[in-house]
Structure 1
Amino acid sequence: MKRAFEIFRRDVNRLSHNMVAMIVTIGVCLIPSLYAWFNIAANYDPYANTGNIKIAVANADKGTENELIGELNVGEEIVQNLKKNDSLGWKFTDEKKAVQGVKSGKYYAAIVIPEDFSSSFVSILSGDMKQPQFEYYLNEKKNAIAPKVTGTGASTIQEQVNEEFIAAAAGSVSKILGQTAEQMGTQVDTVQESLIAKMQTAEENLEEYQVVLENLNKTIDGSDDLINGTQETLDALKSAVASGAKSMNNGTDILASVRNSVGALSVGLSDGLTQGADALSGISSAVGTDLGKLNEKVQNVNEKIGNTITSMQDLISKNEEILTVLRELDNQVPGNPLSEIIEKLETENQRHKEILKNLQTGNNSIGNAVNTSVQGLNQIASVIQDGQKNLQTSRASFEKNVLPSLNQSLDSFAQLSGKVSGVLAGVEPSAEQLKNVTGDLKQTLSDTKTAMESTKEALDDVQKKLNTAITDLGALQSSDIYLSLKELTKKDTGEVAEFMHSPVQLETKSFYRVENYGSAMAPFYTNLAIWVGGIVLIAIFKMEVDKDEKIKSFTVTQGYFGRWILYITTGLIQALIICLGDIYLLKIQCKNPAAFVFAGLFASFVYVNLIYALSITFKHIGKALSVILVILQIPGSAGTYPIEMTPAFFQFVHPLLPFTYGINAMREAIAGIYGMHYWKNILCLAVFLPIALGIGLLLRPHLLNLNYLFDRKLAETDLMICEEEGMQREKISLSTAVKILAGQDEFRKSLNDKIEKFQSNYHKKIRRGFLAIVVIPIIFLILMFSIDSKMVFLVLWIASIILIALYLIVVEYIHESLKRKKRLSEMSDEVLLKEVKENTQRGEGEQ
């Protein structure tokens, strides 16, 4: 690198001793910064000057009048609000002048409020809705950005009108809502008191109902004991009847014996009559005793069952009262929460009615059975009494009418005995029937008791829910909803309207806040200026190193780095001036100035390497490639718009462009560094350095003849700039020299054949190339305008031009290469060897 620094010192010495060169160099260092500064300053805060953009406003609104809203003129309110608004240059005129002013370019846009604007607003109240709208006229030719700004102004007016209308409507609705809420509050209090009173009545009925249930259960328990006693009495009655029937049978047997012992009639008959009278007396006594007991028991059962029936009737009546209250409550409470309880109580009440019916039927059956038994026993007693009287009569008149009336008495007694036996035979079935009835009655009372217990559980549940409901209703006045309803009546309609005017407030929390648009655009314009500065360096300073008395020889690499140092140094000065001017002259926001300056210097180092490598390697094509790269990087680096908003092609090339990482690194320094993002972008930018060095050091030696061709051809025009030093280093192929020396005549013949064959088609190939470079791009241009995928055809159009240009360059290079070989073949061996020796020395670095 010693020779490279010698070249650099010589270059600096030449510049420092030439005042004009120094002025130009200073200008080269300053011009890129001016490019950045002017653009940043122009875009520093453009929206602060939107008041200079003229927008015409024409109000033709006639206003309207409505019973609910009153007089309304929305157009006039808009005009008054706009007169207080200086965000845009509002100019108030009539419709004709407004529209004409937009056409002529006097105004950027115009807003015309029609005469039915206000009436359209209130059309919603009549049911015949008509959407209010104003007319917006725009001159899009006047400026690219102005339509966006004026469109924002029109949208602002629309939003303001909507907000004011909502606020007015909300005020009216709030007033009505307050009145309604007050009425609702009064109604709620009245309904609440009514509900609580009804619920308390229902609760009192439930308590009485519970008492009735307890008494009924006690009555049922007592009735059960009575029924058991009655059944025992019936069993005793049956036994007495059986004993009487047996006695009657014995009396019959005695009568038969008396009838057979007529001979001992006087003695036997008297004894038989006495025994018959005693038997009848015993039967009468037993039957009378049992009948008295049965009658007493049955009367007790009837009384208890009657009490049970009365309690059941009271129970059903109370249940009906409770059901009536619950139905009223259920109808007044939304959602019918008591329907399930009402249904359950109705089922229980129906069950009670069926039990009551069974009790009444059983009680009637018992009464009928007892009456039948009593009638039978009364008949028995009457018959026995008649028999006793007859026996006494027979016995008294025995002596008078013994024999004559004996048979008659015996027959009467026999008849009496038959009647008694018949009556006794009827008593036992009646007693059995009565026992069955009491058994059924006992089961009915058991079912009644079970039903009462189920009813008691249901009533307990109802009472709990009623207590809860009463508590909830009592707490209603202290609930949040009720208090909110009461509070609603106190709301100021103006406050409600103001709230509805802007019900949602946006709270913005910015990360990495950028104070102004100029600071946000500074990374893009700074990187662009640095790249432009590199192109300016290539345009001003020569790339090829010349020789003089101090530096007579150097290698290709030494020459490359010798001029490279000059470019890099000047590029770093350019970047330093740009970055320091951004911070301290324009005073852009910058959280980390050191990082910002370093990013600018490193970006310049990378950009100048790329531009220098492309330009020195490909000459004018390389310079063109540098310009193409900057063209791609302006939309493809996301310097202005988010890359997601650009076409797919630019999204694809975005990560392949150095601008992407240079801009991102500066953004980190301006707004704040997050993690390792800054250094990641620096490292990604560094990837382009080996690419640039590979092009300049490895690829360039293989293109010396091509560069020589370009320089010589451009020099022939006497119009286009070329470097003389590049024309002196045509490279001779060693393999060609060896072939010439080994068999000059044979090689010359073969070479002449190739030249002749190539030359015969050379002009055709050139003409075809130039024809293709015109026709093919035109085809792609036509397709680009007729097919939606414009970006694809634009890329293909550019690619086709590059490919055709490369084709022409290759054809011309082959043509020159054949001519060079022919020239070498015509040299003598001594001259050829001398040329080869000089060429070899240049390949080793000598010149």
Structure 2
Amino acid sequence: MWKVFQIYKNDWVNVFKTPIALFLIIALMILPSLYAWFNLKASWDPYGNTSHIPIAVSNADEGAVLRDRNIDVGKEIVNTLKKNNALGWTFVSEKKASRGLEHGDYYATIYIPKDFSKRITTLLDAQPKKPEIIYSVNEKINAIAPKITSKGASTITENVSSNFVKTVSKAVLTEFNKIGIELQRELPTILKMENLLFELEKHLPDIQDMGNKALEFEKKLPEIRKQGQKIIALEKMLPEINQSSKQILKLEDKLPELKNIGNEIVTLQTKLPDIQKAANKVTEIDQHFDTIQKGIQTALDDTAKAQKIIQAAQGSMPKVEQVVGNGKEMAAAANDFLNKSEATFASMIPIVKQNLLLLKQTADTVNGLTNSLKDNSINPESALQMSQALDEQLTNGINEINRTIEMFTRINENMPNKPLTGVIQKLGDTKAKFEQQLSLVRKIEVPLKEGKQPNSQLISQLNQTSQQASELLNNILDRYDSEIAPNMTEGYKKLIQVAKDSVSVLNTAKEKLPDIKQILQDSAKAANFGYDRLEQLQQDLPDIEKKVHETVQKIQTVMPKVVQGVNAAANFFHNDFPKLEPKIHKAADFVRNDLPGVENDIRRVAELIRTKLPEVEEAAHKIANLVRNDLPNLEKAVKNAANKVRKFNNEENLGDIIELLKNDINKESDFLANPVLLKEHKVFPIPNYGSANSPFYTTLSLWVGALLLISLLRVDVENRESFYSPYHEYFGRFLTFATIGLFQALIVTLGDLFLLKAYVADKVPFILSGIFISFVFMSIVYTLVSIFGNVGKGLAIILLVLQISGSGGTFPIQVTPPFFRAINPFLPFTYAINLMRETVGGMVHDLVIHNILFLLLFLIIGFALGILLKKPLAKHTEKIAELAKKSKLIH
């Protein structure tokens, strides 16, 4: 035995001789407690801090009217929640709440629909509808939060229901109370009615005689009613007759307009062949669309050739400038360069026209967009895409107009009469319109990006500006071939002629060469602009072809119907309208002259029938029906009522009933709203969640402490074979581990009590239980590692994982899957946690003894395994450890 204590003594001597070892041992004593303390502090009172859990509340309730009283239950709920700090209520719009829920800004949302109050008022309907509060929760954020937020939502519905019952019952009892007061006030009248009832009972035979006379009069009513109904029916038709008469007068007033419309229809009929020709032209375009595609491709090829010619001319420019500088060689070189430039300029004339056509197409496209926005025939998303494309086209168009103006200006400066001045001014006006269009398009893009319709004034302004730009370009294009192109050619030829005047005009040539060079640059940019736009047009051509084809199909479908309708309208105007016009005038004269007098006579007679005959008829029918149907029952009812009144007066006291109806309204309504009160009695009260969790986390930290020890400290002893047996080693080193475990238990339990201020009903048993549990856990973990080495460490970790889930430390074991319920009785944690719970909440001694006995059983099993298996498996375990060390990774 002394060898066991010698191992124990040597361990502590070595520890105190090595400061770093002493520091490590003290750290191992404290570290497990930190695991428990941090977890306990983090979960100390989670249900007391639920006011920080954000829940979005959206109220769309529109309120309702109940018996001339406005009610808004949604607003009342919001006002109540603003005073409630149980959860972090945040009041936002439905859209913001939905987005916040998806992005994790809110754990849940409460949505009060717009018909919430209206549904509550259906209580008085034949089929009442229960109001709904829509509760949405994001369960992926946290596992516990949905349960807390669900409780908050349930509380809202419970409060609303309770207040609703209380309000309704109070209203009903108030009515009862009013009835009681009214009965008391009317008691003399009730007594008087009793006497009248008895008097009526005496005169029943006289009433029967009068009823027989009423039956005879009723037989004559059908004929009177028949004649009267005819006049009534005619009077009911007077508004329609009057309305029709007004329409006749309006029709008479519109006859000149109808004639004009008829003439327009006849004119349209004469234009039908032209319209059909236009439709045929569209059809022909659709049929020959491949020719258009070829034409665009040809234009692209020609533009590409022009680009090459311009590039060749630009490539010659440096040589020309060099030759000009050399003096004598300038004339020949200049002539050669200018001859090349003539071909370049000749190719530029159609390109400039082509670019002007593309600019007009851009203006027309803007016009088309504005028409679509006016008609609401395009959605904001498509309009935005189209406007963004136009933004780029307008910007490029402005740049191209600038280049064209510069080129025309240079040519115009070399001509005596400045014939291109007017064209340059119109291009400047066109540029201004394009800049206005660009500004307006960008303004329109702002609401389109928000999915809204742009301002109608902006659309009209853009439409007007695009039309003006298109008209300006039309004017330029109409004059291009006849005026502009010849002037361009003439101006360029004059510029070339000046340069060709040999060496004597060298200085003049030097001055003009920069202009020619700039014109070439402008021509190159114009060619590039035209090529890019033609290339884009070629890409868009399939869509254009599709739209043209759809248009042709619509024309082919609708055109026959249009032609048929126009022909039918024209035939009506020729044949039937002349006959109809005199009849309309005759009817209008009757409406103006005779109809008012007829209306007055009909209304007078009808009013007499309505006011007098129905009264007589109703009275006769009532009396007759009473005689036929109700008089026998009335006689019987009067007699029964008289008998019941006599019986009631003999058996009941009306004064007592009145007093019952006048009881306290508030007390009775409160009783109906809350008929049952829940009286809570806590057998073992624990004030907070952290204290209730201290048994689990304290127990868990003790097992973790044992795992830390076996991970960092050795379980074997040096010089074991020469001096110590396996059993000496087992018990000697165990005492060292148990001593450290003792301090771990003391630190964690005392820290729970004095650092965290955890509630513990029995403090000393709490500390002693922690020490005892630490001893048991240490025996199990130490034995596993001492016998099985690194395999034992793995087994200790597996046991930890199983015990966390299967011990019932956090959730009741009854709610866990069957596997964990099955292993629960065989886990040390089960009895350790239960023992600690007894000391925290208040001890029941038989339960304490039960848990201690089972822990002693685990302690005995641990020592028994150590005694039985330590020696037989010692060499085996050592061999496995040596093999593991060869990996130079496992110690």
| TM-score, normalised with respect to structure 2 | 0.48
* Higher RCO (C-alpha 8 Å, min separation 6): 2
Using the size of structure 1 for normalisation, the TM-score is: 0.50
Highest CA radius of gyration, 1 or 2?
1
